[in-house]
Amino acid sequence: MQGNANITFVTSQEFRDEVENAAASLGLTKSEFIRLAVIYAMKERPTAAFAARSGMRRKGNPNFGRKPAGSRRTAEA
């Protein structure tokens, strides 16, 4: 399979550097490295990979694991 992977996500510069370094150490471009990482993740844990890809959580509920609005705890002084 050929092509470029265009994945948009917010991350730290440190993580971006780690991805670039890992790709370079394997002789791959960033795009090739990310593509292979996604393929590997989908083969290892297909349900989790689909959830990450679709924005859904377990059992198809996009709000799984989220607390209802207003229920967040605040730091106590």
**How far is the CA of 77 from the CAs of 72, 73, 74, in angstroms?**
16, 12, 9
Contact by Cβ (8 Å): 40, 67 = no
pLDDT of residue 24: 94
| Residue in this structure with the two tokens 């990482």, named with its chain if needed | 37
Contact 16, 8 (CB under 8 A): no
Domain chopping of the chain, boundaries = 13-60
Under 8 Å between Cβ of 38 and 27: no
* Tens place of pLDDT per residue across the chain (77 aa): 566 656 666 678 888 888 899 999 999 998 889 888 888 887 887 676 555 555 555 555 555 556 666 655 555 54
pLDDT score, position 27: 95
Query: What's the confidence (pLDDT) of residue 9?
Result: 64
At residue 22, the pLDDT reads 92
What is the sign of the dihedral through the CA atoms of 53, 54, 58 and 64? Answer: positive
